[in-house]
Amino acid sequence: MISIPTIKRFPSYLRLLQYYKEKGFSWISATTLAEDLGLTAVQVRKDMAGTGVEGKPKVGFEIAPLIDAIMQNLGWDQPTDAILVGAGHLGGALARYEGFASYGLRIIAVFDNDPVKIGMKIGTITVLPMKELRQYIDEHSVHIAVMAVPAATAQELAEDLVSFGIKAIWNFAPKDLKLPAYVIVQRTDLATSFAVLSAKCKQLLSCGQSAKNELV
């Protein structure tokens, strides 16, 4: 089992390795990786040990197999299908975000319970009604759901999703979910991130609109 901190660094390694590969390099040293990512060479070697790819003295790691191994460890080597629930502003942006493709995430269906949104097209995907969730998850054997719904409906929806067979939830709703321990939950909350930035900015630097007036 690879540690979570190592997994968190894998996407950065991946981008760097792909960059060097595109530049025509075939081998890379732990020292180069370490310098580029601001890590110690010892940490890089530990992280690389988790991939199963062994380095060689003087030349370091062969780039192509290392990319493959990291992709495989992340589960990014084959497309992972996910459904997205919530076709609001954030849901719409996530459904259209093509960057997911580079890490193998494929949004195959979008659900909402707003009659105005049902039937609407987001890119090539048609928004389906929530009442079809159970059948869709069952028929397509989807295990991952991306939730972009309001806080108020998040817990109930998450419980439904789990009962329909969802095993992993990427939660963009601003709400901590209480779910059985076997369910994998990853939370990303844009409002909370901005709250911290905004409050620090206000407290420490008097950021914001008023600053312009202060200068007058």
Site for its own copies in 55-114 (CB under 8 A): 73-76, 78-81, 88-90, 93-94, 96-100, 102-105
- Nearer to its own copies by Cβ, of 26 and 102: the residue is 102
Smallest gap from Cβ 131 to its own copies, in A, equals: 23
Cβ at position 33, least distance to its own copies in Å: 13
Residues numbered 139-198 forming contacts with its own copies, rule: CB under 8 A: 141, 143-144, 150-152, 167-168, 170, 174-176, 178, 182, 184, 186, 188-198
Please, what is the minimum distance in Å from the beta carbon of residue 161 to its own copies?
14
- Contact residue for its own copies among 24, 38, 57, 115 (CB under 8 A): 38
CB 175 within 8 A of CB 158: no
What's the chain's Rg over C-alpha atoms? 21
Residue span 120-139 as binding mask against its own copies, x where in contact by CB under 8 A, dash where not? --------------------
User: Strands 184-187 and 168-171, how do they pair?
Assistant: parallel
Exposure b/e, 107-118, CB count within 10 A at least 16 = b:
bebbbbbeeebb
Q: Give least dist CB 21 to its own copies, A.
A: 13
- The secondary structure of residue 51, as a DSSP letter, is T
Least separation in angstroms between CB 151 and its own copies: 5
148 close to 127: Cβ distance less than 8 angstroms: no
Containing 138, the helix (H) or strand (E) segment is helix 133-140
CB 66 within 8 A of CB 53: yes
